[in-house]
A = this chain, B = another copy of it.
Amino acid sequence: MPHLMLKDLPRYECLLEAAREFPELDPTAAEAYLHLLRTADDVFALSESRLAAAGISQGRFGVLMLLSHCSGPRNGNASCATGPRTPAELADAAGVTRATMTGLIDTLERDGYVVREPDPSDRRMLLVRLTRKAENFLTRFLPIHFRGASEVMGALSDSERKTLVRLLGKIQHQLATLPPPAPTQKTA
């Protein structure tokens, strides 16, 4: 659900002009910043529209993906081992709250994609399982999804992709070092 606002990015001259008023505005930084958000938003929107055409939302699709690579036969591969099964594990893996995951599972269960089953060993817990319908959906849709990603990234060569990943990695690393924001003081 992209909502970046600012559909049309300001042109570089506008950034330069704004920088005269705000010395904190670094034009090249702002340009890269806005392009990053804008491009990712467009990519996200395309993915979402494809999912919507298939009748599912990003959030729900994410849950199906998380469940898919654990409901199949266990592969011994340690790197891609058992996935989440309980609502709490799904929430942690997806990066949303448990309340949100409850809502997602509600709609997925209503639409017949998953079922909740009690955990025999701990009555507090539930186990979420994909239905046949969900497996059929994934079998049908995942090729479309992967092909879509390949098409988007088809604009870049292999070395360009590596460069992009490297630059994004630097940004990620920078994000990890930045302190969390404190509440803005009302009075100067």
**Which residues does A use to contact B, with CB under 8 Å?**
1, 3-8, 10-11, 13-14, 17-18, 22, 24-26, 28-33, 35-44, 46, 49-50, 53-55, 58-59, 61-63, 65-66, 69, 77, 79-80, 92-96, 140-144, 146-156, 158, 160-165, 167-175, 178, 180-184, 188
- Give the contacting residue for A167; candidates B33, B62, B94, B164; CB below 8 A: B164
Q: How far is the CB of A2 from chain B (nearest CB, A)?
A: 8
The count of identical subunits is: 2
A95 B152 Cβ-Cβ under 8 A: no
B3 A53 Cβ-Cβ under 8 A: no
Given A24-B146, A32-B161, A143-B24, verify A174-B152 contact (CB < 8 Å).
Answer: yes
